[in-house]
Structure 1
Amino acid sequence: MQETPFCLRVGHLLPYSMSDSNTTNFTNPSTFILLGIPGLEAAHVWISIPFCTMYAIAILGNFTILFIVKREPSLHGPMYYFLCMLAFSDLVLSTSTLPKTLSIFWFNSREINFNACLTQMYFIPCFSVIESGILVAMAFDRYVAICDPLRHSTILTNPVVAKIALSVVLRGGMLVLPYPFLASRWPYCRTIIIPHSYCEHMAVVKLACADIHVSSYYGLFVAFMVTGLDVFFIAVSYIQILRAIFSLPTKDAQLKTFGTCGSHLFVILASYIPALFSFVTHRFGHNVAVHFHIIMANVYLLVPPMLYPIIDGVRTKQIWDRLLHLLTYKGT
């Protein structure tokens, strides 16, 4: 016997549906319905296993970095401050989505309050922009450390690092503020079913029965402006870094210096490629399967937070040594 589609099974829960679109007009529904991954409902439990595993690794790894840097005074420097900011941003990003996604997969808890949906819609892009700014700051830190090491401590002082951090946070907070503001003002008279596992910006505003070009164009503007500028500054920093590396006298010195920033390059690629792919396919990839797009939209919020602590923590000798010291001390 063929399973009844979820959108029909929950029809009695939806006071406003597609059939009501000509007669019903309301601005703020009390709840939305998240479908999870449409088309793969039968596999939700299996999909939750890698999702939950990645989330657990991300939580454990990022909290470990925050704990070690806080406990170890020798790690109180610009690179580790930026690393802590990245860890905190990753914790917010993954926690903004995964608990609700897992509740859909495990308990079929698909309802989400309208205000909670707007909160997700704000925090996800806001901390994505903040994270992009942190990657730029980390690239600048590597540039100064490699190209002008004698002035590193005088250029990146604690007040300068604090100003950089504040500007990164303010940029993310202000640029993304129109997302929930505009979404809260659109009338939603078509449906309250969101074919997604979380309240992604365009997935929500597409439900509005109004001209949403302002939201769409502003989202494109923010994405391309932030990504374009940040990638440009990162590229300029690494061009200068590579020039400095290739000017070193020996191959061993070149490889050793490149190793200090190679992990950061991998982190950058792991951040931007899945995020850009998800963003572009959501707006232009009409032939991309819905379930594939939604899986990718979750991957770009899960994989980088899982990888950052592993890459930066393991490759950064001071953090790794401190972690081994703590584990050895507790084991004795």
Structure 2
Amino acid sequence: MEAFNLTSSGPQTFILNGIPGLEADHIWISIPFSMFYLITLLGNFTVLFVISKEQTLHKPMFLLLCMLALTDIGMSTCVVPKALCIFWFGFKAITVDGCLTQLFFLYVFATTHSAVLVIMAFDRYIAICDPLRYTTILTIARIGKLGFVALIRAVLLILPMSLLLRRLPFCANHVILHTYCEHLAVVKMSCGDTRINQMYGLVSALVIIGLDLTLIGLSYGLIIRAVLRISSKKAHQKALNTCTAHICVMLMTYTPYLFTALTHRFGQGIAAHVHILLANLYLLVPPMLNPIIYGVKTKELREKVGKYTCRM
């Protein structure tokens, strides 16, 4: 009877509080948020446009860049527009279904993003360790299939998380101390037994990040072994230069994610607004910088972007 009452009298909407302790500064915080988001959209849509228009860029590596750009746009768009509505207009309410939908798509995009980085590491491994067979192993069709598998994996891993949240009874206090519906923040709103939710969230995170980082580490271990066998220092540098952009993007993605996840679970002494700002920066900064890094480090893409820029 108690569980029934909690469920039936639970809130139909949640309140996203924004950044706790910094409510008076929301307008000022919205300035970098909106600027980062606009740069993210501009940079990633430019990458998508240039690659789609240029036949010479219709290659596996650039298809992977398109996948990365789409996941970057998706992650940012899941969070930033709602955050700006909170900062600018005080529109803090979000329905329970809307909250779970935001959470589902955010984590699907983030999980797919991680898988794309794994495929990119495999791409670099083939390009350096087996260059003569690169075009036969990594075809456009095969990259497309790998991208589809990455998306299906993300959906299958994240859907149970959303369904497990949907069955929870939520308390009368329905204020979420966050700018978006983060999994643990929503779990803490429940008056029921959340052990399964917390365990599934932790296990899925360990499986996704642990597996992906292991595969990336394995790829780079084989790359380093192959490079060390090359006698020419110039060849060393050329081989490693092809990996520079991917390494930078990978570090920018996993370092803030791991730091944010660890501080959120174990950093009880860290102020709440620091948690929230770090979680938002993870979804703002890497998507903004990724197209810039690849634009600078990839000669073919840089030249094509320059061509279209000069036309404007």
Q: TM-score, normalised on structure 2?
A: 0.96
CA distance in 2, matches of 1:25, 1:217: 22
* Alignment partner of 1:45 is 2:36: no
SS of the aligned residue for 2:94 comes to strand
Runs of 4+ in 1 over 6 A off after TM superposition: none
1:282 aligns with 2:256: no
Q: Distance in 2 between matches of 1:116 and 1:59?
A: 23
1:142 is the counterpart of 2:124: yes
Matched, 1:162 2:144: yes
User: In the alignment, which of 25, 45, 50 is matched to residue 6 of structure 2?
Assistant: 25
Give the number of equivalent residue pairs.
310
> In 2, distance between residues paired with 1:47 and 1:246?
47
Aligned to 2:85: 103
Question: Retained in 1: the 8 A contact 2:78–2:106?
Answer: yes
How far does residue 249 in structure 1 lie from its aligned partner after superposition?
A: 2.8
**Cα contact 1:66–1:84 (8 A) shared by 2:** yes
Find the residue that maps to 1:32 and give its secondary structure: strand
Cα deviation per residue 1:204-263 (whole Å; 9 max; x = unaligned)?
A: 111100010111000011101111111011011111112222332322222222111111
| Structure 2: tracts of 5 or more residues without a match | none
Say whether residues 1:61 and 2:43 are aligned partners: yes
Secondary structure in 1 aligned to 2:7? coil
Question: 1:121, 1:179 within 8 Å by CA — same for their partners in 2?
Answer: no
Q: CA deviation at 1:22?
A: 11
1:296 lines up with 2:273 in the alignment: no
Q: Could you say which residue in structure 2 is the equivalent of 1:195?
A: 177
1:319 aligns with 2:292: no
- RMSD value over aligned CA atoms? 1.6
Instruction: Report the residue type matching 1:56 in the other structure.
Output: L
Deviations 1:34-81 (A, max 9, x none): 110000111111111111111111110000000011000111111111
Task: Find the counterpart in structure 2 of residue 13 from structure 1.
Answer: none
Q: Quick check: 1:54–1:303 contact (8 Å CA) kept in 2?
A: yes
Matches within 5 A, 1:1-332: 25-26=6-7, 29-330=11-312
SS state of the match for residue 207, structure 1? coil
Compute the displacement of 1:109 (Å): 1.1
For 1:129 and 1:88, how far apart are their aligned partners in 2?
Answer: 13
Q: For the Cα contact (< 8 Å) 2:3–2:169, is it kept in 1?
A: no
CA deviations 1:167-195 (Å, max 9, x no partner) are 10000011000122111111112411001
Question: How has the CA–CA distance of structure 1 residues 241 and 23 changed in structure 2, closer, same or farther, with 3 Å as cutoff?
Answer: closer
Secondary structure at the aligned position of 1:209 is classed as coil
SS, match of residue 171 in structure 2: coil
Q: Distance in 2 between matches of 1:43 and 1:97?
A: 19
**Cα distance change on mapping 1:111 and 1:186 into 2, 3 Å:** same
User: Which runs of no fewer than 5 residues in structure 1 stay unpaired?
Assistant: 1-20
Greater gyration radius: 1
Q: Using the alignment, how far apart are the partners of 1:196 and 1:189 within structure 2? A: 17
| Equivalent residue letter for 1:305 | P
- One-letter amino acid matched to 2:107: P
Whole-angstrom distance in 2 between the partners of 1:186 and 1:31: 14
SS in 1 for 2:6: coil
Does the CA contact (< 8 Å) of 1:133 and 1:230 recur in 2? yes
